[in-house]
Structure 1
Amino acid sequence: MRSTPALLFASTVLLSAPAWADAPNVVASIKPVHSLVASIMEGVGEPSLIVEGGASPHTYNMKPSNAAALQAANVVFWVGHGLEAFLDKPLEALGSGAKVVELSEAPGLEKLRFREGGAFETHGHDEGEEAADDGHEHEEHAAKQEPAHDHEHRHAEGEVDMHLWLDPMNAKAMAAEIEKALAEADPSNAAAYEANLVKLNQRLDALDKHLAETVTPVRDKPFVVFHDAYQYFEHRYEVRVAGSITVSPEVLPGAERLSEIRAKIKELGATCVFAEPQFEPKLINVVIEGTPAKPGTLDPEAATLDAGPDLYFQLMENIGASLKSCLASAS
C-alpha cells in the first residue's frame, strides 16, 4: 500500500509531537499556585485549575468537573488545610494513584503567624515572627474582643497565615517543591522542569527588586485592608498595614469592628482603605465615612486576572502599583 501525502503528513506530526502529550495530569487549587505550576510545566504540559474566575478559596464550593479533574490527576498542588478547606475531604477521598503536594510544607518557606484582624496595635507593624518553634510569643493584634458570632472564626494561636505566595521568596520555595514533585512524577521531562525552575527563579528575583523599588516611596504611609491577607507582602517590603476590616472574608464584620477600624484610621492617619474584588465593596465606604482616607482595591488571589504562567507576576505587580497609586495620591 502506497503512502498518501496526507498519511505522510500525519506521520510527521505524530513523530514531531511535543513531550507534553505524555505529561502527567496535574491539578492546582488556586490561581497563584496554578501560575507557578504552569511556569514549571511550560513547554511540557498545562495544569488544570480548580478555583477559576473570580471565585475565592475562602468561599468556594466544589463542582462535578473539579471532582472529575481530581480523580484523573496524577499530581495535585494546593497550599494546605488552612486555606482551601473545601479540598480537605475531596483530597482524602482520592485514590492512592495521585500525589498530593501541600505547598505550605515546602522547605525554605518563611511562615508568619495569623493575626486576629481588626485594628492592629501601633506596634503591630513589627510582626516578623515566624511560626516555627522559635520561642517567640504570639502577639495579640486585635484591640477589642470580637463579637460572639465571630469567635468561631478566630485563628488558633500559632496557626500559620496561609497567604504564603505574597512574598516572592516564598514563591521560590514553593516553585522548588513543585519542580521536585513534577520531576519525580515525570522523570522523562525532569530536565525541562529543572530548566524552567531556573528561569522562574530569575524572574522572581527581578520581581522582588521591582516591587521594593515600587513601594519604597510610600512604605511609611499606613493603610487598611479588607481582610488580613497581606502580612507576607508587608513583612517583605516594610509597608504599613494599620488594620483589617474583617478576620475572615466570609464573615461580615459587626458595627463594633467597623467603628474600631474607623477610629484607628483617624488615630493613625491611614491614607487608604483597600477593598477586594470578590467581597462586599460597600463596607469600604462605610469605614472611610468621616475620615480623609481614600478607597482602593487589592486582589491577593488574582480574581480579576486570567490564569497562566504570567499571572503570578501580574498579581504581585498590581498589588505594588495599587499601593503606590493610592498612597502617593492621598494626603
Structure 2
Amino acid sequence: MLHKKTLLCAALSTLLCAAPVFTANAAVVASIKPLGFIAAAIADGVTDTEVLLPDGASEHDYALKPSDVKRLQGADLVVWVGPDMEAFMQKSVRQLPEQKQLELSALDTVKPLLMKGSDEDDHEDHHGHDHSEKSDEDHHHGDYNLHIWLSPEVAQRSAVAIHDKLVELMPEHREKLDANLRDFTSGLADADKQVGSVLAPVKGKGYFVFHDAYGYFEKHYGLSPLGHFTVNPEIQPGAQRLHQIRTELVEHKAVCVFAEPQFRPAVIHAVAQGTPVRTGSLDPLGIGVALGKDSYMQFLAQLSDQYVSCLKGD
C-alpha cells in the first residue's frame, strides 16, 4: 500500500512539474495603468489584466525585475505603446511570439493620429539652461508625442486592436469580447461628452504644465496650454531657472501651473511663489484608479476634474 502511495505521489509530482507554471497566471499585461484600463474593459470576464509598472514608477526610466520578465513571458497578450516610450520593455517583448504582443503606436489605425513632438523639445535651450542638469533629451520619445493613452480617439482604436488580438488568441470567447468592445465604445462616447462639458468653462484659461504629456487631451478638448517645463523630479532647479519660469508665468498671464504626483511640492511652490498663479496637480497615469470595466472613463473624468479644480480656482 505504501509503495502504491509513493508511486501515486511521484506521478502527481511529475504532472505538476510538467505543467507550465504561468498558465494559471496568464493575463493581458499592459505596460502602464491607462493601457491597463482599456485592456481590462475588453478582457473583462475572459482573462485577467495586469499592469507592469507599479503606481509611482515612471515609464521613462523603469527597470524590469526578473519577476516582470516572467510575467511578460507568461502573458496571453502584452500591450505597450512602443520602444520609444517604454524602452525598458523592448528586449523582453521582442522575444515573445508576434501574436502575443501589441505595439499600439505602430498600428495602422493609430499612426495617422500621432502628434509630432514639441518643436521646442528642449525648452531650456531657449533660456540658457545649465546643461549639467538633465535636459529634455533624457525624456525624448523620437519624433512623436507618444503619450497616446490621453487621446480618446486612440483609446478607442486601441480597444478595437486589443479586442481583435484576443479574438485571435481566444476565439471561443468572441461573443463576450464583442460585447465588451460594444460596452467600452458606448461608455467612452458618454464619458467623452461629459468630460467635454466639464472642461468647456475653462477652455480659454491659460496654464503651464511641467511635463509635455497632455497634447492629445488638450487638443481633443480645446484647452489652452501656454507651455511646458520638463523638470527632473530628482533635481532641484536653481534660483535663475525658477526666476525664468516665474517671468514666463506672469508674462503669459497663466492662471495655473500643474505638477504631477512624482514632483516634489517644494519645486512647485518655488516656481509659483511671488506670482498670482495657482498650483495644481495632473496625474497622467491614473494613480488611485482601480482596474475595471469603466476605469478608463474614470481616468478621463479624474483628469478633467484636476484641470478644472485649478483653472476655476475652486
Q: For the structure 1 residues 254 and 114, does the alpha-carbon distance in structure 2 shift closer, same or farther, using more than 3 Å as the test?
A: farther
**Structure 1 gap segments, 5+ residues each:** 1-20, 120-140
- CA offsets per residue over residues 151-175 of structure 1, 9 Å max, x none? 543647x711111111211110111
Q: Secondary structure of 1:76's partner?
A: strand
Aligned to 1:113: 116
Give the Cα separation in 2 of the matches to 1:188 and 1:256: 62
Cα distance, 1:307 vs structure 2: 3.0
In structure 2, the CA distance between the partners of 1:22 and 1:246, relative to structure 1 (3 Å rule), is closer
Change (3 A) 1:311 1:142: farther
Give the CA deviation at 1:117. 5.2
Q: 1:180-259 residue pairs with structure 2 within 5 A?
A: 180-246=164-230, 256-259=240-243
1:71 aligns with 2:54: no
Distance 2:311 2:151 in 1: 20
Contact preservation (8 Å) 1:221, 1:271: yes
Deviations 1:182-206 (A, max 9, x none): 1111111122212211110111111
Q: Give the superposition deviation at 1:143.
A: 4.1
Identity of aligned residues (%): 37
Q: If the length of structure 2 is used for normalisation, what is the TM-score?
A: 0.82
How many positions carry a matched residue from both structures? 287
Q: Tell me the SS of whatever aligns to 1:261.
A: helix
TM-aligned CA distance change 1:252 to 1:59, over 3 Å: farther
Conserved 8 A contact 2:36-2:49: yes
Partner of 2:282: 298
Mapping of residues 84-103 of structure 1, within 5 Å: 84-92=86-94, 94-96=95-97, 99-103=100-104
Residues 1-331 of structure 1 correspond to what in structure 2 (within 5 A)? 25-92=27-94, 94-96=95-97, 99-109=100-110, 110-115=113-118, 116=120, 143-144=126-127, 146-149=129-132, 150-151=134-135, 152-153=137-138, 155=140, 159-246=143-230, 256-329=240-313
Contact 2:37 2:291 in 1 (8 A): yes
Indicate if the aligned counterparts of 2:187 and 2:294 stay in contact, CA closer than 8 A: no
Conservation of the 8 A alpha-carbon contact between 1:75 and 1:101: yes
Q: Deviations over 1:17-68 (max 9, x none)?
A: xxxx999632111111111111001111212221122222123222222111
3-state SS of paired residue (2:40): helix
Shift of 1:280: 2.4
SS in 2 for 1:246: coil
TM-score w.r.t. structure 1 length?
Answer: 0.78
> Is the Cα–Cα contact under 8 Å of residues 58 and 249 in structure 1 kept in the other structure?
no
Separation in 2, partners of 1:252, 1:301: 23
- Unaligned residue ranges in structure 2 (runs of 5+): 1-22
Distance 1:249 1:233, change over 3 A: farther
Q: Which has the higher helix share?
A: 2
Please state whether the residue corresponding to 2:45 is helix, strand or coil: coil
Say if 1:50 and 1:66, in contact at 8 Å, map to a contact too.
Answer: yes
